[in-house]
């Protein structure tokens, strides 16, 4: 059981470039959640996805950010035209299809640290 | 919106001693969950302990226990017999009973000295 796998672990992008962050949930988990951790802050919810569906993206910035979780393959968080303020750690969590998230049955990955220079 | 406040940016404890980390939260809900997560330098978010609001009994997990005061909206974490491996950032988090998003505090950095 490999846990939630996020890659890359570190990502450096120049202002204006695109960042693509990947998350492979735990085996048997079909629900994925993305969180962002700004420096000196706690994690903030961004988006909740199930396979091929965005359930709740209320925490996503309105522009430049998008997320997907295709039928096959990892979930992708995409940030277009990155700016310095996007520098943060981005975490992915997953949970099984039944509502075990009800009791907080999440497993977190180790995050991707994005640095925009 | 629910807010979670951790008023101690940093705490220090000697090995084998006991330390308590504070957390308060604001909600109008009666049913919810509270969590403490540990984030070591590896960045991995590790669930330490979980409390259901409808349970009056305080949760315990080995050396970790909580003091849940529902009326005061307080949820502190006590670490007994502290070990060097306990050094990490500790985050308090809140989740509505039927919700899925976790609301995190800003964290407390715990230093454990030999």
B43 torsion bin: left (phi>0), alpha (psi -120 to 50), beta (else): left
Q: Is the pLDDT of residue A100 over 60?
A: no
Q: Is the pLDDT of residue B89 over 90?
A: yes
Assign A108 a pLDDT band (cuts: 50, 70, 90).
very high
Assign B69 a pLDDT band (cuts: 50, 70, 90).
very high
Q: What is the structure's pLDDT at A88?
A: 97
Cα gap B29→A83, rounded to integer Å:
37
For tokens 């000295």, what's the residue?
B113
Cα gap A49→B19, rounded to integer Å:
38
Mutation site, A2, A33, A42, interface B, largest B CB count within 10 A: A42
Coil, helix or strand at residue A103: helix
Q: Is the pLDDT of residue B105 over 80?
A: yes
| DSSP label at residue A26 | P
Nearest Cα residue to B15 out of B63, B55, B71: B63
Q: What is the structure's pLDDT at A96?
A: 82
Coil, helix or strand at residue A106: coil
Structure tokens at A66: 């998008």
- Longest Cα pair distance anywhere in chain A, in angstroms? 41
Residues B91 and A42 sit within 8 Å (Cβ to Cβ): yes
Assign A101 a pLDDT band (cuts: 50, 70, 90).
low
Beta-strand relationship, A31-37 and B10-14: unpaired
Residues A10 and A79 sit within 8 Å (Cβ to Cβ): no
Cα gap A10→A7, rounded to integer Å:
8
**Chain B residue numbers touching A111 (CB-CB < 8 A):** 43, 45
Residues A35-93 have pLDDT tens digits of 999 988 889 999 999 999 999 999 999 999 999 999 999 999 999 999 999 999 999 99
Q: What is the structure's pLDDT at B76?
A: 98
Residue B60 φ/ψ, nearest 5 degrees? -135, 145
Assign B97 a pLDDT band (cuts: 50, 70, 90).
confident
Mean pLDDT over residues A29-39, rounded?
Answer: 93
Mean pLDDT of chain B: 94
Beta carbons within 10 angstroms of residue B73's beta carbon: 18
Mean pLDDT over residues B9-29, rounded?
Answer: 97
Mutation site, A7, A43, A47, A110, interface B, largest B CB count within 10 A: A43
Q: What is the structure's pLDDT at A98?
A: 66
Q: Show which residues on chain B lie within 8 Å of chain A, measured between beta carbons.
A: 4, 33, 35, 37, 42-47, 50, 52, 91, 93, 95, 97-98, 100-107
Q: What is the structure's pLDDT at A102?
A: 60
Secondary structure of chain B in HEC code, one letter for each residue: CCEEECCCCEEEEECCCCEEECCEEECCCCCEEEEEEEECCCCCCEEEEEEECCCCCCCEECCEEEEEECCCCEEEEEECCCCHHHCEEEEEEEEECCCCCCEECCCEEEEEEC
CA dihedral for B43, A44, B87, B80, sign (positive or negative): negative
Coil, helix or strand at residue A23: strand
CB contact under 8 A, B101 and A59: yes
**Chain B residue numbers touching A89 (CB-CB < 8 A):** 43
């Amino acid at each position: 059981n490999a846990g939630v796998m996020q890659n890359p672990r570190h990502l450096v992008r120049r202002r204006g470039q695109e960042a693509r962050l990947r998350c492979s949930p735990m085996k048997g988990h079909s629900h994925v959640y993305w969180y962002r951790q700004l420096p000196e802050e706690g994690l903030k919810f961004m988006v909740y996805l199930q396979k091929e569906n965005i359930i709740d993206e209320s925490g996503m910035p309105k522009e430049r950010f998008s997320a997907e979780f295709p039928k096959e393959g990892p979930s992708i968080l995409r940030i277009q035209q990155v700016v310095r303020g996007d520098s943060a750690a981005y975490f992915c969590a997953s949970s099984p299809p039944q509502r075990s998230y009800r009791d907080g049955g999440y497993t977190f990955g180790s995050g991707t640290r994005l640095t925009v220079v | 919106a629910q807010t979670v406040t951790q008023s101690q940016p940093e705490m220090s404890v000697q090995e084998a001693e006991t330390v308590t980390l504070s957390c308060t939260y604001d909600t109008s809900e009666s049913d919810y969950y509270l969590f403490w997560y540990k984030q070591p330098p590896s960045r991995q978010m590790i669930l330490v302990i979980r409390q259901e609001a409808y349970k009056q009994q305080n949760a315990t997990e080995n050396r970790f226990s909580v003091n849940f005061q529902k009326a005061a909206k307080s949820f502190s974490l006590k670490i007994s017999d502290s070990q060097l491996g306990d050094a990490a950032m500790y985050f308090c988090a809140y989740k509505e009973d039927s919700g899925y998003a976790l609301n995190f505090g800003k964290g407390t950095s715990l230093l454990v000295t030999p």
